[in-house]
Amino acid sequence: MDISTEQIDSTTVVRMSGNLDTNTSAPAHAKLDSLIEDGNTHLLVNLRQVGFVSSAGLRILLATAKRLNGTDGSLKISNLNETVNEVFEISGFNSILNVFSTEEDALKDG
Amino acid sequence: MNQAQSRSPLPRETFTLGSIPLVESCSVLEARRKIHSLASLVAGDSLLSTRLATVVSEVGKALQRLNQNARIEVGLCTKGNLPRLQLDFVGQLDSRSLGYLNSFFDHLEKDSGTGGLFHRVNVELTTSGVNRATLARLREIVEQKTRDQLLEEIQSKNSELEESLETLKRTRSAKDRMESELNIGRDIQMSMLPLSFPAFPEQGEFDVHAALYPAQEVGGDFYDMFMIDLDHFCFCVGDVSGKGVPAALFMAVTKTLIKSRAANDLSPASILSHVNSESAEGNDSAMFVTLFLAILNLHSGEMVYSNAGHNPPYLMRSNGEMERLENRHGPVIGAMEGIAYGEDSTVLAPADMLYLYTDGVTEAMDIAGSLYGEERLRERLRGADYPAAKDAVEDTVDDVWRYQGDASQADDITIMSVRYHGPVTREGETELTLRMHNDITAIAGVNDDFCRFAEQHGIPAAVQRRMNVCLDELLNNIVSYGYCDEAASDAHEIELHFRLLDSELVVTIIDDGKPFNPFGNDPPDTCLSVEERPIGGLGVHLVKNFMDKVHYERHGENNVVTLHKHLDQEQEA
């Protein structure tokens, strides 16, 4: 799992690459936590390069969303491939997380 | 139909798939199941199939309540760009279910055809991969018989028998009457048996042979054999107490119960427990049946068996040794409700042969009245080296006839023999076996290896990724929660088999962790908000949604999980 970040206005775009699964979720979670601790409270996780997300991945996205909801921060997620989208639909996560089809759409959304 | 024809696209028209009657509340459940399978097969969209199934279940209940002759007519229309599943709910509907239909489907057609008023919904399918083979499978699903329907068929068979019984009543003497009744009983008995051999010439993994010689007077022997799926062969031998028509009917019911239960149950213990409860209930005549039932896994050679008061069969190993499967797993079937039967398993090596029989063999008598006996049978089998199942049956039966000589046959004689040949690689089949230790970091490697296998064999990327999710979930479960010992994190091995056969991917995961059925839990509530949402159980929910069929069984010290996924429906996705 490779993670790169880019600051666009007030949003920190987090681009993940690899699979978000049992093994990669812990380091990904640590990365998201450290970003929040550094004061980046508006996160956009771009999953364009992510092949699949398992429930372990959902768990860290949920934990991050919960953490940011407690502050005035926000978590957005974009660029889900077909399988990831299905995982979100089946689990109902597409209705409880802020999901966008592209990074641009997510950034436009105020 | 040849292969090319069955794969070519269908002409543009509307095909009738069949009719699903809604006569009682249990048939609504059945309809729900069928529609779900239909939609999963052609749409490959588990959300759509689940939603459709829910609609069918809700609307079906109202339809069944409000109408005498309620049913759902199912059709497939290929006239437009995309094929459509066409569901006609035939009968009056109340406003609540109409509202329900309207909220799910944009175009609800209401019309009266020859069969009466119907409400038609069209479900557009996002696939164009519907060919003749698919059509045939769809029809199969719609026409699948439920247990009740099978029982009904038997009842109609019975009504044919009533005619014979009329004749019977008119027969003059008591002796004639008894003879005719026994004849009728024997006719039913023999008509229930699979008699054509070789029985499964297309299955290279085994050969089976059976013979039943009815006695003049007493007798209620039966046997059955059928494929549960491509990998599992089920066979049984039994002996019903009593004789004549009542015994024959009891046998018919038992046989039907076994077959319908085995269609969805790979555990002989569970099948016997179920069959016993069903047949013991209201069994006023106190009839019962001794039964030995086994399911042979043709791929692994593992044979799981359960014995309900039947003669223990012999297992002739290919190395010349002979064992007797002595374990008893419960009393005779039908005597008492609520009994939990047990089961055992053994692994057959290629050329191992199982020999089953009824007591008519060992209790055959010579003219002086002495029994053929267990010892004689055992010695006969021990001294033999039968090249095929048929030889074992014929040789031992000949020996019994010789022994019996001019004495009359006292009881039915039934013999069945099953010879295992070992797994066979079928044409177009490929497989991959992987092993990993109970180390969480090894999961990624398994997923990588599977992806390479998938790419080599053209498994669509969407299926690959779904399988990746399932493997991540299930392996994580096993490694994290499956082992309670303090041993090192790599003390256990998990075995995975991937098999690709025709257009189906079958994955088996075997672990020696504590007994745990991952599919036994209720689905999580996916409607809760972020704050309320617990996570456990979600992984398994994903697996159930992504796969066409999931199955769990405990085999000895192992958990065995099997996943089935059809590739056909994914190609257009």
Q: How far apart (Å, rounded) are the C-alpha atoms in residues A28 and A18?
A: 11
Shortest CA distance from A93: residue in chain B: B526
pLDDT of the residue at B226: 93
**Cis check: omega of the bond before B194, within 30 degrees of 0:** no
- To the nearest whole Å, the CA of A70 is away from the closest chain B CA by 10
Q: Taking the CA of residue B433 as centre, how many other CA atoms within 13 Å lie in the half-sphere pointing to its CB? A: 6
Which positions in chain B have a beta carbon within 8 angstroms of at least one beta carbon in chain A? 46-47, 440-441, 443-444, 447, 462, 465-466, 468-469, 472-473, 475-476, 526-531, 533, 535, 538-539, 541-542, 545-546, 573
Q: Does the pLDDT value for residue B458 go beyond 60?
A: yes
Residue whose pair of structure tokens reads 């021990």 in the numeric block? B382
Tell me the chain B residues in contact with residue A52 when contact means C-beta distances shorter than 8 Å.
465-466, 468-469, 472
- Identify the band that residue B529 occupies on the pLDDT scale cut at 50, 70 and 90: low
- Residue B79: burial class (beta carbons within 10 Å; 0-12, 13-18, 19+): exposed
pLDDT surpasses 60 at B571: no
The label of the residue with tokens 């996924």 reads B565
More confident residue, B24 or B316: B316
Contact B469 A89 (CB under 8 A): no
With CA atoms as reference, the chain A residue closest to B440 would be: A23
DSSP output for A8-68: ETTEEEEEEEEEESTTTHHHHHHHHHHHHHTT--EEEEEEEEEEEE-HHHHHHHHHHHHHH
Q: Quick one: which of B77, B546, B381, B465 has its CA closest to A18?
A: B465
A4: left (phi over 0), alpha (psi -120 to 50) or beta: beta
The label of the residue with tokens 């809760």 reads B528
Residues in B closer than 8 angstroms to A81, CB to CB, are: 465
Determine the pLDDT at residue B4: 47
**Is residue B19 within 8 Å of B72, Cβ to Cβ?**
yes
Task: Please tell me which of A88-102, B42-56, B216-230 the model is most confident about, judged by mean pLDDT.
Answer: A88-102
Question: Given a cut of 60, is residue B533 above it in pLDDT?
Answer: no
Nearest-CA distance A28 → chain B (Å): 15
Question: Does residue B233 sit in helix, strand or coil?
Answer: strand
pLDDT of residue B170: 67
Which position has the higher pLDDT, B46 or B340?
A: B340
Answer whether A90 sits within 8 Å of B466, measured CB to CB. no
Whether A101 and A67 have beta carbons less than 8 Å apart is answered as: no
- Residue pair B445/B476 in contact (Cβ under 8 Å)? The answer is no
Q: What is the mean pLDDT of residues B245-265?
A: 87
Supply the pLDDT for residue B198: 85
Q: How confident is the model at residue B146 (pLDDT cuts 50, 70, 90)?
A: low
CA distance B394 to B547: 45
User: What six digits make up the tokens of B448?
Assistant: 């990588």
Q: Which residue has the higher pLDDT, B569 or B432?
A: B432
How many C-beta atoms surround the C-beta of residue B275 within 10 A? 28
What pLDDT does B354 receive? 97
pLDDT of B563 higher than 70:
yes
Instruction: Sort out which chain A residues have CB atoms less than 8 A from B526's CB and list them.
Output: 90-92
Provide the pLDDT for residue B63.
87
pLDDT at B5 over 60: no
Q: Is the model's pLDDT at B323 over the cut of 50?
A: yes
B465/A83 touch (CB, cutoff 8 Å), yes or no = yes
Residue A71, pLDDT score = 81
pLDDT in tens, B11-57: 777 888 888 888 876 678 888 888 888 887 777 666 777 778 888 88
The CA dihedral of B263, B268, B271, B273, to the nearest 10 degrees, is -170
Distance of CA B194 to the CA centre of its chain: 17
**What local confidence, expressed as pLDDT, does residue B65 receive?**
86
Contacts for B267 with CB less than 8 Å, ≥ 6 apart: B295, B304, B343, B553
With 80 as the cut, is the pLDDT of residue B476 above it? yes
pLDDT tens column, B72-93: 888 888 877 777 888 888 888 8
> What is chain A's Cα-based Rg?
12
Dist CA B30 CA B39 (whole Å): 14
> Chains A, B: CB contacts under 8 A, how many?
87
Q: State the average pLDDT over residues B221-230.
A: 89
User: Are B447 and A23 an interchain contact pair (Cβ–Cβ within 8 Å)?
Assistant: no
Contacts of A65 in chain B (CB under 8 A): 530
Strand order in the sheet with A98-100: A2-8, A11-20, A42-53, A74-78, A98-100
- CA B261 – CA B265 distance, rounded (Å): 6
Query: Could you say which of A65, A66, A87 has the minimum Cβ distance to residue B469?
Result: A87
At residue B572 the predicted structure's pLDDT band, cuts being 50, 70 and 90, is: very low
- Which range scores top for mean pLDDT: B101-110, B498-507, B525-534? B498-507
Q: What's residue B67's pLDDT?
A: 85
What is the rounded distance in angstroms from the CA atom of residue B509 to the CA atom of residue B569? 24
Chain B nearest C-alpha distance from A103 (Å): 22
Average pLDDT over residues B349-358: 95
Residue with the larger pLDDT of the pair B453 and B103:
B453
Between A60 and B485, whose confidence is greater?
A60
Q: What is the mean pLDDT of residues B231-250?
A: 87
> What pLDDT was estimated at residue A52?
94
B530 vs A23, A66, A86: nearest CB: A66
Cβ contact (<8 Å) for B542 and A90?
yes
Contact B535 A59 (CB under 8 A): yes
| Average pLDDT estimate for A78-105 | 91
Chain A residue numbers with beta carbons less than 8 Å from the beta carbon of B43 are none
The pairing of beta strand A42-53 with beta strand A74-78: parallel
Q: Which of B441, B473, B545 sits opposite A54 (nearest CB)?
A: B473
pLDDT > 70 in chain A, percent: 99
Q: Is it the case that residue B559 has pLDDT exceeding 80?
A: yes
Q: What percent of chain B has pLDDT over 90?
A: 33
- pLDDT for B44 equals 65
Tell me which residue of B287, B260, B263 sits closest to B275, measured CA to CA.
B260
More confident of the two residues B553 and B150: B553
C-beta atoms of A55 and B535 within 8 A: yes
Residue found under tokens 């749409």: B43
Say which of A54, A81, A90 has its CB closest to residue B472: A54
Choose from B472, B481, B535 for mutation: most chain A CBs within 10 A: B472
The torsion angle over the Cα atoms of residues A34, A36, A39 and A45, rounded to 10 degrees, is: 110
pLDDT average, residue stretch B548-558: 85
| Chain-chain contact of A23 with B527 (C-beta, under 8 angstroms) | no
Report, as an integer, the average pLDDT of A77-84.
94
Least confident of A27-31, B67-71, B111-115, B394-398: B111-115
Residue B210, pLDDT > 90, answer yes
Could you give the CA distance from residue B470 to residue B512 in angstroms, rounded to a whole number?
19
> Using one digit for the tens of pLDDT, what is the confidence trace for B415-457?
999 999 998 876 666 888 999 998 888 999 999 999 999 988 8
Average pLDDT over residues A31-56: 94
Q: What is the pLDDT of residue B168?
A: 65
Q: For the whole prediction, is pTM greater than 0.80?
A: no
Q: Which of 19-58 (A) contact B at CB < 8 A?
A: 19, 21-23, 51-56, 58
Indicate which of B494, B533, B571 best probes the interface with A, i.e. most A CBs within 10 Å of its own CB.
B533
A85 touching B, CB under 8 A? no
Given the structure tokens 């829910």, which residue do they identify? B54
